[in-house]
Amino acid sequence: MRRFAYCKVVLATSLVWVMLDMFILLYFSECNKCDDKRERGLPGRDVLRPREGPGEGGKPVVISKENQEKMKEMFKINQFNLMASEMIAFNRTLPDVRLEGCKNKLYPDDLPRTSVVIVFHNEAWSTLLRTVRSVIDRSPKSLLEEVVLVDDASERDFLKRPLEQYVRRMEVPVRVVRMEQRSGLIRARLKGASLSTGQVITFLDAHCECTIGWLEPLLARIKLDRKTVVCPIIDVISDDTFEYMAGSDMTYGGFNWKLNFRWYPVPQREMDRRKGDRTLPVRTPTMAGGLFSIDRDYFKEIGTYDAGMDIWGGENLEISFRIWQCGGTLEIVTCSHVGHVFRKATPYTFPGGTGQIINKNNRRLAEVWMDQFKNFFYIISPGVTKVDYGDITSRSSLRQKLQCKPFSWYLENVYPDSQIPRHYYSLGEVFSYTANKEIRTDDLCLDVSKLSGPVMMLKCHHLKGNQLWEYDPMKLTLIHVNSNQCLDKASEEDSQVPSVRDCTHTRSQQWLLRNVTLPEIF
C-alpha cells in the first residue's frame, strides 16, 4: 500500500519518470543479491523477468537418467535430494502462495526487530545457505536484527571456516557460534537465544525457505500481545525434487497418545471464532517445533526450553503445553508462509539410541505437564516407564512458580478435539472407556457393524452409532448399544477376535474395568 502512495505522487509529474525510477530501483536493489551469482551462475534480477534455472519458481528439479545413481548415493548424506538442492540457486524465486486477503494487509511501521536463530548439525551447504539467503532477501532490513547460526558440533569441514568466511559478506550480521559438544537442537537453540539481541527470537530449521511477506504478520501478532507465540504455515519443500508446495491453512497441530505431533483439520469452533476469515491466525494446540517467533523476554519468563532434553523430540509439545497452561497463546499465522524440507528419515545419529532419547524427552514433558493424563502415553508405549528421565524438579517448580493451569484445563479449553479424552472412566491395559462411551485407543474406537459380528478398531467418528458401548459396573458387561449385544471374548476353540453375542452373562462376557468411577463423572 505504501508503494501505491509513492506512485501516485510521482505519477503527477510524469509516467515515464516513474517507469525509469522503478527500473533503476529494482535493478540496484536486486543487485544486492548478486553475490550468489558466482556460485550459481544465475542472474539476480528475478523481479524484472521470471528467471530460468533448476527449481526456479519453486518448480521441481528433474535429475537426468545418467545421474540417477549418483543422486541416490548423495540422498543418503542428508536424507534429501542433495543433488537437486545443489542445482538450485540460493536465491531462487518462489511463488506467492498466500491467500489473496493476505497480500494487501497493512502492518504497523514500528514492529519489533527479530533475531533469526538457526541451529544445525551436519546440514548441507546449499540448504543452509538458501535458508539464510531467503531470510535476508525476504525480510524488511529494518526488522531483521541478525542471523545467528548455531553449529551443534557438526563434523563437516565446509561448515567451519568456509561458512564463517562466506557469511561475512552478507548484508545483515550473520554470526556463527559453536557448541563444544553435540548437544541436540534444544540446548543449541538455548545457546543461540542467549546470544541473540533482537526483541523477538525467530527459530528456523536449517533447511527452510522464507516466502514474500513471511515476517511482518508474525511480528505484528507479537507486537499486539507479547505473550503470543506464532508459527508460520509450514509449506512443503519436497525431499525428492525440492518442489515448493503450499501448506494448508486448514490444518493445525495436535498429538496422539504416543505424543507424536500430528496435523489435524482446523475444527469448526476455530473457524467460527474467526468468523470464517481464513486470513486470521489460527489458535493451535501444539506447534510442529522447528519454526516459530517469540518475544525474547517472554521466552525467558515462561522458562525457555527444558535443557534436560537431549538431541531431538518432545520439546515442541513441551513448549506448546507450557505456553497454553501458563497463560500464553499459540497461533499459526496463516498469512506467513515458510517452506521446510520434510524428511522421511533422520540423517544423523542419536547418541544413546533414538528411542531412548525421545522417550526420555517425552517422559519429562509428560511428568511435568500432563498430570494423570500421562497414563495414556504410558499405556500405549510399552517399556517407556523404565526409561530414566532424570531430574525434573526445576521444571516442576517452574510450573508452580508460574501457577500454570492443569492439563485437564488445556484439554477442555484448548484442545477439546484431542485424541486424549478429557473424561474417561477407565484406563486399562490396552483401551480406555471414555465419557463418550467409546472403547478407545488413541484415535481408534471399538466398532461393530453387524449382528454377532466381529469387533474392529476403526477411526473414532464420535457419532456414537456402532461405537457406543454401555458399561454395567455391576454385571461387568459391555453392551453394544446398537445391537443390544454383549462384548464377548474370543473363546479358545474358535480363536477368533472378540465379537458381540447375545448377552448370556457368562464369564466370557465379563470385563473388569479398573478405576471405573462412574458416579463421580455423572
Residues that bind Mn ion (CB under 5 A): 205
Q: 197-216 mask for ligand UDP (x: CB under 6 A)?
A: --------xx----------
Nearest approach, Cβ of residue 151 and ligand UDP (Å): 8
* Residue of 316, 399, 409 whose CA lies nearest to 362: 316
In the bound state with ligand UDP, the residue whose beta carbon lies nearer, of 205 and 447, is 205
Work out the number of other CB atoms within 10 angstroms of the CB of residue 329.
16
Strand order in the sheet with 444-447: 424-427, 432-434, 439-441, 444-447, 456-459
Residue 198 interface partner, choices Mn ion, ligand UDP, none, CB cut-off 5-8 Å depending on type: none
Distances (CA, A) of 436 to 221, 418, 442, 487: 37, 13, 14, 17
In the bound state with ligand UDP, the residue whose beta carbon lies nearer, of 128 and 468, is 128
In the bound state with Mn ion, the residue whose beta carbon lies nearer, of 210 and 513, is 210
Nearest approach, Cβ of residue 407 and ligand UDP (Å): 24
Q: What count of Cα atoms within 13 Å lies in the side-chain half-sphere of residue 271?
A: 8
Count of residues that interact with ligand UDP, criterion CB under 6 A: 15
471 binds ligand UDP (CB under 6 A): no
Residue 332 interface partner, choices ligand UDP, Mn ion, none, CB cut-off 5-8 Å depending on type: none
Nearest approach, Cβ of residue 183 and ligand UDP (Å): 7
314 binds ligand UDP (CB under 6 A): no
Residue 206 interface partner, choices Mn ion, ligand UDP, none, CB cut-off 5-8 Å depending on type: ligand UDP
Scanning 94-102, 109-117, 180-188, 362-370 for contacts with ligand UDP by CB under 6 A, the matching segment is: 180-188
Nearest approach, Cβ of residue 330 and ligand UDP (Å): 17
Buried b / exposed e along 263-298 (16+ C-beta atoms within 10 A)? bbebeeebeeeeeeeebbbbbbbbbbbbbbbbbbeb
Nearest approach, Cβ of residue 207 and Mn ion (Å): 6
In the bound state with Mn ion, the residue whose beta carbon lies nearer, of 205 and 447, is 205
Rounded to whole angstroms, how far apart are CA atoms 363 and 359?
6
Work out the number of other CB atoms within 10 angstroms of the CB of residue 338.
27
346 binds ligand UDP (CB under 6 A): yes
Rounded to whole angstroms, how far apart are CA atoms 340 and 336?
13
Q: What H or E segment, with its residue span, contains residue 362?
A: helix 354-369
Q: What is the crossing angle of helices 354-369 and 315-325, to 10°?
A: 10
At 521, which amino acid appears? Answer: I
121 binds ligand UDP (CB under 6 A): yes
Cell 472378540, residue? Answer: 498
- DSSP string across 38-97: HHH---S-TTTS---STTGGGPPP---GGGHHHHHHHHHHHTS-HHHHHHS-TT------
515 binds ligand UDP (CB under 6 A): no
Q: 288-307 mask for ligand UDP (x: CB under 6 A)?
A: --x-----------------
Sign for the pseudo-dihedral over CA of 458, 461, 465, 468? positive
Q: Which of 125, 312, 321, 376: binder of ligand UDP (CB under 6 A)?
A: 312
Scanning 120-128, 247-255, 279-287, 367-375 for contacts with ligand UDP by CB under 6 A, the matching segment is: 120-128
In the bound state with ligand UDP, the residue whose beta carbon lies nearer, of 312 and 410, is 312
Q: Which residues bind ligand UDP (CB under 6 A)?
A: 119-121, 123, 152, 184-185, 188, 205-206, 290, 311-312, 343, 346
